Structure 1
Amino acid sequence: MHPMLRRLDDLAAHLATRPDAVALLGLGSAGAEHDRLDAHSDLDFFVVVADGAVARYVDSPDWLAAPCPVAYSFANERNGRKALYTDGIFVEYAVFTVDELAGLPVAGARVVWQRPDAPTGLAECGPPPRPATPYDTVEFHLNEALTNLYVGLHRELRGERLTAARFIQSYAVDRVLALLRLTSPGAAHRRDPFDPSRRVEQAYPPEVLPLAEMVPGYRANRAAARATLAWLEARFPVDPVIGAAVRDLLVA
C-alpha cells in the first residue's frame, strides 16, 4: 500500500474512536483516482464532523498526530490547515459538517471511512465546479487571450513587468488551455476540474502546446506574447484589429 493511503487508513482508525467524527474522505490523488499517487503527491482530504465540532478539529491538530508526529502546521483557511509530518508526508485538509459538505463543489472524492449511521453519498457531495464564466466558447477564450496579451504588453512597456508576466504568461495561457479543452476533447489525460493546468504536459506534446515558448519567464514577456499570438493565429480566426494592435506593441 502506498504510504499516503496507509496514513489515511491510520487516521481513519483514530477518527473512528472519536464520537464527533463522521467520515474521512480522500481527495485528489488520494481520492477515486488514487492510482495517480507518486513520490511527489501530497495528501488531500476532508474530515466530516458533528455540528459544533469544526473549530475543535481546525484549531487543534492533535488528532492529526495520532499516526505520526506533526512537524509543521498552520491554519490556511477558516475550515482547514496544511501540515507536514515528521516522515515527510505533506497534507492539506479541511473540516466540515455534513450540511456544509453538501454545498461544496467536490469531484473524485473517496470514502476512506464513515460511521455506520453516516448519511449515504458523502463522496458525491456537490457538483463539480463550472467554468468561471458562462461564456465558455472558443470565441470568448480566443478574445480573452488576445486582450490579455494586449494589456500585458502595455504594462510591460510601462515597466510593470510582474503584472505583465501574469497577463501574458499566465492569464493568456489559461485561455489557451481552455481553447484546447474545447477543440481537443479527446486529449488522453485526466483533467482536473479545479485546476486546468494540471497534467497538461501529459496531454499535449510541445508541438501542440509549446509551453517553453509561451512561459519563458519574467524577462521574456515580449517573446512569450509573440509565441502565444502566433499560436492563436495559426489555429483560430483572429480579429484583424486586435491582432494588429498586439503586433504593434511587440515592436513598440
Structure 2
Amino acid sequence: MHPMLRRLDDFAAHLATRPDVVALLGLGSAGAEHDRLDDYSDLDFFVVVDAHAKPRYLESIDWLQAPCPVAYSFANDRNGRKALYADGIFVEYAVFTVDELARLPFTGARVVWQRDDAPAGLADSGPPPAAVPFDTVEFHLNEALTNLYVGLLRELRGERLTAARFIQSYAVDRVIGLLNLTHPEAGHRRDPFDASRRVEQAYPPQVLPLAAMVPGYQHNRRAAEMTLTWLEERFTVDRVIADAIRRLLAVGA
C-alpha cells in the first residue's frame, strides 16, 4: 500500500473512535483515482463532523496528530489547514458538516471511512463548477487574443508581472480550453477545477509548445507572438484583433 493511503487508513482508524466524526473522504490522488498517487503527491481529504463539533476540529490539531506528529501547519482557509507531518507527508484538509458538504462543489471523492448512520452519497455531494462562463471555441479563442492584447499593453507600460499573467497564464489557459474542446480524445484525467493539471500527459510539445508559450518573466513579447502564431495556424482569427496585437509587438521591436 502506498504510504499516503496507509496514512489515510491510520487516520480513519483514529477518527472512527470519535463519536462526533461522521466520515473521512479522500480527494484528488487520494480519492477515487488513487492509482495516480506517486512520490510527489500530497494528501487531500475532508473530515465530516457533527455541526456542534466543527469549531473544535478547526481550532485544535490534536486529532490530526494521532497518526504522526505534525511539524508545521497553518490555517489556509476558514474550513481547514495545510500541514506537514514529521515524516514528510504533506496534507491539505477541510472540515465540513453534512449540510455544508451537500452544498459544496467537488468531484472524485472516495469514502475512506464513514459512521454507520452517515447519510448515503457523501462522496457525490456536489457537481464541479463550470470551468469558464462559455465553454466554446469562440470564447476561448477570443479570450486568449484579448488576454494577449491587454498583456502587451501592460508590458509596454512597464507592468511586467501582470503582463506575464495575462500572456503566459490566462491566455495559455484558454489555449488549453481550445485543445480540450477540439481534441476530446486526449487520454488524460482532466481536473474540472484546474485545466493545467496533467496537461503534459495529454498534449505533447508539438501540439502544445508550453516551453515557448511560457518562457518566463522577461519574455512576454516572445510568448505573445508564439501564442498568436499558434492560434492563427489552427483557428480563424479576427484580423482586427490580430493586427492590433502585432502593432503592439512592433512597438520598440
Residue 31 (structure 2) pairs with residue 27 (structure 1): no
C-alpha deviations, 1:126-148, integer Å up to 9, x for none?
11221231x21100110000000
In structure 2, what is the Cα distance between the partners aligned to 1:128 and 1:156?
34
- Residue equivalent to 2:155: 156
Please say if residues 74 and 81 of structure 2, whose CA atoms lie closer than 8 Å, have aligned partners that are also in contact. Answer: yes
Are 2:171 and 1:172 aligned?
yes
Task: State the shift of 1:20 in Å.
Answer: 0.5
Q: Cα distance, 1:75 vs. partner? A: 0.6
- d(CA) in 2 for partners of 1:26 and 1:226? 42
* 1:1-252 equivalences in 2 (<5 Å): 1-133=1-133, 135-252=134-251
Can you list the C-alpha shifts for 1:199-232, whole angstroms capped at 9, x where unaligned?
0000000000000000000000000000000000
After superposing on structure 2, the runs of 4+ consecutive aligned residues of structure 1 that deviate more than 3 Å are none
Aligned length: 251
Seq. identity, %: 79
3-state SS of paired residue (2:51): coil
Q: 5+ residue gaps in structure 2?
A: none
Q: Report how far residue 198 of structure 1 moved.
A: 0.3
Cα distance, 1:59 vs structure 2: 1.2
**Partner-residue secondary structure (3-state), 2:229:** helix
C-alpha distance in structure 2 between counterparts of 1:130 and 1:56, whole Å: 33
User: Does structure 1 conserve the Cα–Cα contact (< 8 Å) formed by 2:22 and 2:114?
Assistant: yes
Q: What's the TM-score, normalizing by structure 1?
A: 0.99
Unaligned segments of structure 1, at least 5 residues: none
RMSD: 0.6
Aligned AA for 1:183?
T
Equivalent residues of 2:131, 2:193 under 8 A apart:
no
User: Aligned letter for 1:118?
Assistant: A
SS of 2:164's equivalent?
helix
| 3-state secondary structure, aligned to 1:217 | coil
Q: Distance in 2 between matches of 1:233 and 1:129?
A: 30
Tell me, what secondary structure is at the counterpart of 2:248?
Answer: helix
Partners of 2:127 and 2:243 in 1: CA distance: 41
Rounded to whole Å, the distance in 2 between the matches of 1:72 and 1:238 is 50
Q: Which amino acid aligns with 1:169?
A: Q
SS of 2:237's equivalent?
coil
User: For residues 150 and 130 of structure 2, what CA distance do their matches in structure 1 show?
Assistant: 26
